[in-house]
Structure 1
Amino acid sequence: MSVDGSYADFFGPQVPRAGDEGQTATFALASAAYRDNPVEDIKKADNEWHQSTVSVGRSWAKIFRPNLGEAFSQAVVDRMLGVGRKPLIQSFGTEPQVVVEHCLAANRIRRERDKRLTGIMLLFGVLFLPGLLVWLLVFQLRATVGRLDNRRVSGMATVLLFAVGALALLFLLKMPFGGLVGWYARGAVVAPVVGWFLAKRVCEGTAQDLRGRWDSLLAGSSIGAKVPEAVPTSPNQTAAEQLRQSLARLSAEQQSNSVFYAGPKGILGMGTRWGAWHLAEELTPLDPNKGVHEFRSWTVIRAIHDQLTLLNRQSLKTGGFPPPSVRHWIVTPVGENAKAVARPEGTDVEAYQVKPSAIENICNNQQFGGGDRHYLGVQWPLWDGQLIITMMITVTVLHETLRIEVTGHALGPVNGLFTTKPEAPTKEVAKTVRFWETRKVTLPLVTPDEVVRLAARATLSWYPPLLNWLGGSIGLPEPFGLRHAWADQPWRHRFMADDALRAATPVLRVVHAAAIKVLKEHDVDTEKFGSRSAFLSTAVQDPSPRKVDVYDA
């Protein structure tokens, strides 16, 4: 029996494989959980609509400052799995559960490291607290001075560390105390240094593991996220069961057929509306004596739906469309600067899905005034999820006038910040003999300051709110969705732009052909519709992207 058969259900969800549709964007976002870049780098991925915020914490506690991976993974887990969280925006072309699982796995790896560091801190630090406080103060002053723009002042940071080391050595040699107090004073000087060397080995091992996972994800490896805390093994493990249910709820919301229109920002998760084509003509009976055979908007939409599912079929064997995803969407309007959305609720909604009967009712009746609207969407996730093309179709009938609107939405690739591979830290130094030439030397993966930072954070890792208050955190853009929050515009990529533009013409023609066929079957004179459709077919020959939702009124 194949793996794709019943065995797949028995063994549970499979690890995403390289080459699966959407995995490039998924793995790029997941790699952020393992990164050791400065936390401020997240601002480089902001765009004109979605801005991340970086809380700097307390100015006197820079030693507790998180890096990008620590802040990102904690922020994503809290936002997407937290109790009482706000609704999420779907991440089309990606698998948000995979990203969240990698964030959980990264947090687990860091927790294991922090447990070892905490043990080292207790044994070599807390037992010799006076010496630990002095060394932490020195490193804090060194970190503060080293970040100053003045090179002369920042250069004194290393001098300060050597000066304190010399004083410590002098203190050991000329100990002013004797007996038990003297030996404790010696231990207070030496023990934190010994603990630092042990902590450095722990930090280097974890850093290599995290960087290996970061590199593997971007290389297309099928590396999986180990999250044993999400698999309850007994009825008493309520935390594991709650986490499992949160992941299941995340997957269910990802499949929701409810989306939100935020004005000039377009449909959240699908991108901005770059093109719109309208076909609106009067419903004139073919025979005035008989009139028009009654039909509703849903009748036209259903015929269009059937034809759009066949877009990947063609007579010429020259490639063409991949199989499209054709779905009925319920679109809810929200403000351009809305910070939250509210999904439809009630008896017409089940597991985040608006029921088919309610969809049909909205399509037929909610065409003017307040309320949600119905759209039929045909979508292609292309370039391994880096490009999301969506064509939305809506049909309205107002006072004997049938209007068919086709709009194009495009969501571009994930920001380049998430696709950069890890590089070994290097530094250019002058050659010994040919001093006018320079060479690159590889620096240690974990610096002395980084060891102190990780050891200091480890002691507070048991209570993340305090750690965030001291060191800062990342504020995710709202309404939040993993995919659209850090997406670039597709128009800077020539081939992506071509794919978005090329999809408009065949979709428009299929929609018009299906609609005109329905009109003929219901005794409608289609001469004007045919002429108008031919005019639009000519106009769409050379579509150009523009900001359709920015009205110049």
Structure 2
Amino acid sequence: MGAAVTDGFDFSPGAQVPLLGTDGETAATQALASAAYRDSTMQELVDISDGAKITPPRLSLFEPNLGEAFARAVQVRMLGAARGELVQSFGIEPQTVVEHCLAATRIRQERDTRLAAVMGVCGVLFLPGTLAWLGAFQLRRSLTGLKEKGNRAGALGGAVLAVAAVLAILLAIRPPFTGFWREYFRLVMIVPVIGWFLARRMCERTAKDLRDRWGGLAGGSGVGAKIPEAVPRNPNQLRAETLRQSLAKLAAEQSSNVVFYAGPKGILGMGSRWGSWQMAEELVPREDMKEINPFRSWDVVRAIHDRLRMLERGPLHTGGFPRPSIRHWVVAPIGEGAGSISRPTGTEVEAYTVKDFEIQRICNNQQFGKGNRHYLGVQFVLWDGNLVITLMTTVTVLAQTLRVEVTGHALGPIKGLFSSKPSAPTKTVNKSFKFWETKKISLPVVTPAEVVRLTARAPFTRFPAVLDYLGGSFKLPEPFGLRHTWADKPWQHRFMADDALRAATPVLRAVHAAAIQVMDENGVDISQFTSRSMALSGLVQGVEPKKADAYDA
């Protein structure tokens, strides 16, 4: 059964209870997850997404809002059967974001089921009147769109609804038929209005629930996502089993040790390279040695790995480094404008992760020419996931020259849109008597036009492809990863910039100390390496972030 569902891909331990984030990553995770519950316009999301596109709606009445478009796009991109491969999202838990998208969709589907019942009784049974009202709202929406573009035709929007209201009154007073059709046409324009009142209460109740979740997540105190449909209760629930395995596949891809270098964009998911420090000197035996003891790049890398594990320990009790993530990475090159990524496959890869023996082979052999490269990374996730600092180390030996290179990458905070909280809509008006003074009045959370939009979409909620066709959709930028797609620059935040700059010096010194120790133990004259290390140690203290990958400095 598992093979029929997932084409043989299943390495998950079974149905599990989803957890919300991990230490140090909850704020950024919840900020992104809050987008699934938002009710603002989809254009706001496009404005902050480099490379994102909107498929124009055929009928603007069916156009999705930000939350609907975000949840739909993320689910299709990250859980779809035909989806492409994803970029890792360092600093957040992408599975948690996807679970909130599923939860938000489930809440909307429950609302839409009730709205579809109202639409069936008050809409389909009185279809001529319903079509007239929908046509009026569609025309008003189109005219309003023209007004936003500077056309005066938008002023006719209100008149359209007024005409529809006059038609409803005329049909109620003097219908054009006799008998049964006389009574039917008395109600044909009125019953849809009654249905609108019922639908408004349902929409307001759900809107309050969604906005509460939005505010809780944006404020850092949101509840976890509830998606019982992801836990199969028996072997015959293929949909639940497929969803469970898709989430497991997402978690496995997130833990992959393969990353992609996209030219000036830097390493996808880790940010662009802002600094680079290289120690490259000739391997010469000491005076007391005829020749050096042979060693390989992996021996140096392994010593650097052991030294980096001691970074969190210091002689003084003054805080210092939190526990970093230290990992061996396989870095694959792709073009800056690449539309997709492709992870390595074969017997040396298991569950998207390159095995240890292959990593060691790449470290020792693939240092020049084509092929992937090996890097040892030390990563700090700070500011509740809003800052990801990664320092990558590579060791190469070409001819008699050993080169130890350390590069700094930084991924900034989530875009400010995701941190905004919901606010009650208000309007400033003049006071009745003291007209020179103003006051604020509260507006309904769900506008009349929004009730019509939601009710019109409700019968098609189980057919998202139809809604995509009628109302358009939001297309995510590629190569896609939840974190780097909406990351801002860390250099605009003074303390984040300080953290990135300060991390480089102790990491560089630890790397150099471990490399020099290995060379000294194997009879290498380390005087030139020591001099170069001291020079770099002084240089790194004054370095400023620059576009290292653009080669314009």
Specify whether residues 53 and 480 from structure 1 end up closer, same or farther in structure 2 by C-alpha distance, changes over 3 A only.
same
Residue 183 of structure 1 deviates from its aligned partner by: 1.1
Is the CA contact 2:215–2:222 (under 8 Å) kept in the aligned structure 1? no
Give the Å deviation of 1:462. 2.0
Secondary structure (helix, strand or coil) at the match of 1:103 reads: helix
Alignment partners' CA distance in 2, 1:336 and 1:244? 34
Q: In the aligned structure 2, how far is the partner of 1:284 from the partner of 1:175?
A: 104
Q: Secondary structure at the match of 1:314?
A: coil
C-alpha contact 1:203 1:451 (8 A) present in aligned 2: yes
Residue 16 of structure 1 is matched in structure 2 by 20
Distance 2:222 2:492 in 1: 30
The CA distance in 1 between the partners of 2:417 and 2:98, in whole Å, is 18
Change (3 A) 1:14 1:43: closer
Residue 172 of structure 2: aligned partner = 172
- 2:511 matched to 1:511? yes
Q: Secondary structure at the match of 1:260?
A: strand
Structure 1: how far apart are the matches of 2:145 and 2:439?
25
Write the letter of the residue equivalent to 2:231.
V
Q: Which residue number in structure 1 is paired with residue 542 of structure 2?
A: 542
Provide, for residues 399-450 of structure 1, a one-character-per-residue CA deviation record: whole Å limited to 9, x for no partner: 0100000000000000001110001111111111121222211111111110
Show the counterpart of 1:65. Answer: 63
Aligned-partner Cα distance in 1 for 2:330–2:341: 14
User: Aligned to 1:433, what secondary structure does the other structure show?
Assistant: coil
Matched residue, 2:438: 438
Distance in 2 (CA, whole Å) between partners of 1:29 and 1:68 is: 12
The letter for the 2-side match of 1:393 is T
In 1, the alpha carbon distance for the partners of 2:460 and 2:137 equals 18
- Residue 86 of structure 1 aligns with which residue? 84
Secondary structure at 1:404's aligned position in 2?
A: strand
Matches of 1:245 and 1:491, distance apart in 2: 39
Equivalent in the alignment of 2:102 = 104
Q: Deviations over 1:35-65 (max 9, x none)?
A: 001010012323xxx321112221xx11000
Equivalent residues of 2:30, 2:222 under 8 A apart: no
Q: Is the 8 A contact 2:18 2:96 kept in 1?
A: no
**Runs of 4+ displaced beyond 3 Å:** 9-15, 150-153
* 1:130 alignment partner in structure 2: 128
Q: Provide the residue aligned with 1:498 in structure 2.
A: 498
Structure 1 pair 422–238 and aligned structure 2 pair: CA distance change class (3 A)? same
When structure 1 is superposed on structure 2, of 135-144 and 471-480 the one drifting more is 135-144
Distance 1:189 1:37 in 2: 30
The Cα offsets for residues 132-156 of structure 1, whole Å up to 9 and x where unpaired, read as 1111111111112223335864333
CA distance 1:347–1:11, change in 2 (3 Å): closer
Please list, as runs of the form range in 1=range in 2, the aligned pairs for 1:467-486 lying within 5 A after superposition.
467-486=467-486
Kindly indicate whether the alpha-carbon contact (under 8 Å) linking 2:213 and 2:222 is maintained by their aligned counterparts in 1.
no
1:221 has 2:221 as partner = yes
Structure 2 counterpart of 1:305, which letter? H
CA contact (8 A) 1:45 1:416 kept: no
Q: Which moved more, 1:526-535 or 1:220-229?
A: 220-229
**Distance change >3 Å, CA 424–CA 378, structure 1 → 2:** same
Q: Distance in 2 between matches of 1:10 and 1:156?
A: 58
C-alpha distance in structure 1 between counterparts of 2:18 and 2:63, whole Å: 36
Match of 1:306 in 2: 306
Aligned residue in 1 for 2:9: none
Paired residues for 1:190-339 under 5 Å: 190-287=190-287, 290-339=290-339
* Equivalent position of 2:37 in the other structure: 34
Q: Return the TM-score normalized by structure 1.
A: 0.95
Q: CA deviation at 1:288?
A: 7.0
Name the CA distance, whole Å, in 1 between partners of 2:106 and 2:98: 12
Q: Assess if the C-alpha contact under 8 Å between 1:22 and 1:384 holds in 2.
A: yes
Q: What residue is the counterpart of 2:351 in the other structure? A: 351
Aligned equivalents of 2:348 and 2:167: distance in 1? 75
Aligned counterparts of 1:366 and 1:11: Cα–Cα separation in 2: 40
Q: Deviations over 1:125-178 (max 9, x none)?
A: 111111111111111111122233358643332233223212311221122222
* Matches of 1:233 and 1:345, distance apart in 2: 33
SS at match of 1:98: helix
What is the distance in 1 between the residues matched to 2:552 and 2:418?
Answer: 36
- Deviation digits for residues 90-146 of structure 1 (CA, Å, limit 9, x no counterpart): 000100000000000001111111111111111111111111111111111111222
C-alpha distance in 1 between matches for 2:122 and 2:177: 21
Match of 1:147 among 145, 148, 152: 145
Structure 2 contact 36–70 (Cα < 8 Å) conserved: yes
Once the 2 structures are TM-superposed, how far is the Cα of residue 189 of structure 1 from its aligned partner?
1.5
SS of 1:148's equivalent in the other structure is helix
Aligned with 2:428: secondary structure?
strand
CA distance, structure 1, for counterparts of residue 263 and residue 453 of structure 2: 44
CA distance in 2: counterparts of 1:230 and 1:356, whole angstroms: 33
Give the stretch that moved more between structures: 243-252 or 140-149: 140-149
In structure 1, how many angstroms separate the alpha carbons of the residues matched to 2:438 and 2:141?
Answer: 27
The residue matched to 2:267 in structure 1 has which SS?
coil
RMSD: 1.6
Q: Deviations over 1:229-284 (max 9, x none)?
A: 11000111011000000000000110000000001000000000000000000000
Residues 355-364 or 134-143, more deviating:
134-143
Q: Secondary structure at the match of 1:394?
A: strand
Q: Is the 1:44–1:417 contact (alpha carbons within 8 Å) kept by the matching residues of 2?
A: no
Instruction: Give the secondary structure class of the aligned counterpart of 1:94.
Output: coil
Range 238-247 or range 134-143, more displaced: 134-143
Q: Say which is worse superposed, 146-155 or 328-337, in terms of deviation.
A: 146-155
TM-score by length of 2: 0.95
Paired with 2:306 and 2:183, the residues of 1 have a C-alpha distance of 85
The alpha-carbon deviation at position 345 of structure 1 amounts to: 0.5
- Change beyond 3 A, Cα 1:313–1:13: farther
C-alpha separation in 2, matches of 1:222 and 1:135: 39
Q: 1:461 to 1:13 in 2, by over 3 A?
A: closer
Shift of 1:13: 4.3
Letter in 2 for 1:405: E
SS in 2 for 1:409: strand
User: What residue is the counterpart of 1:6 in the other structure?
Assistant: none
**Structure 1 residues 440, 505: CA separation in 2 closer, same or farther (over 3 Å shift)?**
same
Deviations 1:499-548 (A, max 9, x none): 00000111110100111000000000000000111111111111100000
Task: Name the amino acid aligned to 2:109.
Answer: R
| 1:339 alignment partner AA | G
Letter in 1 for 2:377: G
Q: 2 CA distance for matches of 1:160 and 1:289?
A: 95
| Deviations 1:177-211 (CA, angstroms, capped at 9, x unpaired) | 22101111122121111111111111111111110
List runs of 5+ in structure 2 lacking aligned partners: 1-12
SS at match of 1:72: helix
**CA displacement, residues 460-486 of structure 1 (integer Å, 9 cap, x when unaligned):** 222111211111111101000000001
Query: Cα distance, 1:85 vs. partner?
Result: 1.3
* Secondary structure, aligned partner of 1:331: strand
Distance 1:467 1:481 in 2: 25
Task: Name the counterpart of 1:4.
Answer: none
SS of the residue 1:125 aligns to: helix
Greater displacement, 250-259 / 438-447: 438-447
Distance 1:288 1:546 in 2: 43
2:132 aligned partner, one-letter code = V
Letter of the structure 2 residue corresponding to residue 25 of structure 1? A
Residue pair 1:16, 1:222 contacting (<8 A) in 2 also = no
